[in-house]
Structure 1
Amino acid sequence: MTEQPGDAQPGDAQPGDACPGAAANGRLSYAIVTLARAHRGFAAALLRDLGLHPGQELLLMRLFDRDGQTQSELLDAVGLDHSTVSKSLRRMQDAGLLTRTPDERDRRVQHVHLTHAGQALRAPLAALWSELDRVTAHTLGAHQVESFITTASAIERAVAHHRTTQEEPR
């Protein structure tokens, strides 16, 4: 196999590429992790200004779309583990953003409802996501943004498919 200009070899440093040698055969995954870390850090700073922790905005946005969902529905929608969602909802309830009420037929089921304070975060959260997108895509064209979204979705589906096939009993 002939080496082409620009082909990265283990240990080769590329301009702007801080990929450690141990990740040389996993450069795509390393890029995803570093991108996610940078993006999450910026988002966390913006969320702090609204008094929110990362992940809470995802729950709020689901409730903006359909208030009164059960805790289990929210859990499925955001893809976080049960303890993380439960802790987030408790914090948000303590902050006066939502209420949780037991279902009339099954007291184990909790319905989550936004308070006026929670509803008041709709416009600020929409502005936050707009700012996050503006900064994130500052140097990208519309075609690059659409291509990235398509690629990211394909990667997410591939990882989810692999996880479900690995979790099936053999």
Structure 2
Amino acid sequence: MNQTPRAETTPGPVRTGRLSFAIFALARTHRAYAGELLRGLGLYAGQELLLMQLLERDGQTQSELLATVGLDHSTVSKSLKRMQEAGLLRREPAEHDRRAMRVWLTEEGKAMRGPLEEMWAALERASVRDLDEGTIDAFVATGETIRRSVIERHRTTDASGSSPAGLT
């Protein structure tokens, strides 16, 4: 018997937020597949973001990387340490400030460009398989609108200055 994969059911408390739950379910599924592809490259989630930033501009400080990848300080620090131990990068004190650390790719790290590009292409192929260009364009535009709305959520606070249900 051929069974269709069961769609994730929406729990009762989020029925009033079905779009948000759909985004959550999509992000979780997409991230899981990306994680599977990354494991095939010997990477953990988030490390690819650091590699891509360094492939674009090698020798950034840890602070610069932190500002560009959108991960917290401890995650970046742990990821850089693991990547250094794996031989993908090296860290050295910055010339201008010995407390700051510059991050440089090794040859092995630079060689990750092709595999990372293929990983993103595989993720893209899986994501757009049943979509036409117009649908993709509309989804990207809608996703960007939602992203901006969430970032600018402070505009939806009530008159007392607090957000719904005391959330910030």
TM-score normalized with structure 1 length: 0.84
Unaligned runs of 5+ in 1: 1-14
Q: Aligned in 2, Cα 1:161/1:133: closer, same or farther, shift over 3 Å?
A: same
- The aligned residue for residue 74 of structure 2 is 83
Matches within 5 A, 1:128-167: 128-162=119-153
- Could you list the runs of 4 or more consecutive aligned residues of structure 1 that deviate by over 2 angstroms after TM superposition? 161-166
- The aligned residue for residue 113 of structure 1 is 104
Percent pairwise identity: 53
Q: Secondary structure at the match of 1:99?
A: strand
CA distance in 1, matches of 2:69, 2:148: 15
Q: Aligned in 2, Cα 1:156/1:94: closer, same or farther, shift over 3 Å?
A: same
TM-score normalized with structure 2 length: 0.85
Tell me if 1:63 matches 2:90. Answer: no
Code of the residue aligned with 1:92 in structure 2: it is M
Code of the residue aligned with 2:81 in structure 1: it is R
For this pair of structures, how many residues does the alignment match?
Answer: 153
Asked if the contact 2:8–2:25 (Cα under 8 Å) also holds between the matched residues in 1, the reply is: no
Measured on the aligned residues, the alpha-carbon RMSD in Å equals 2.0
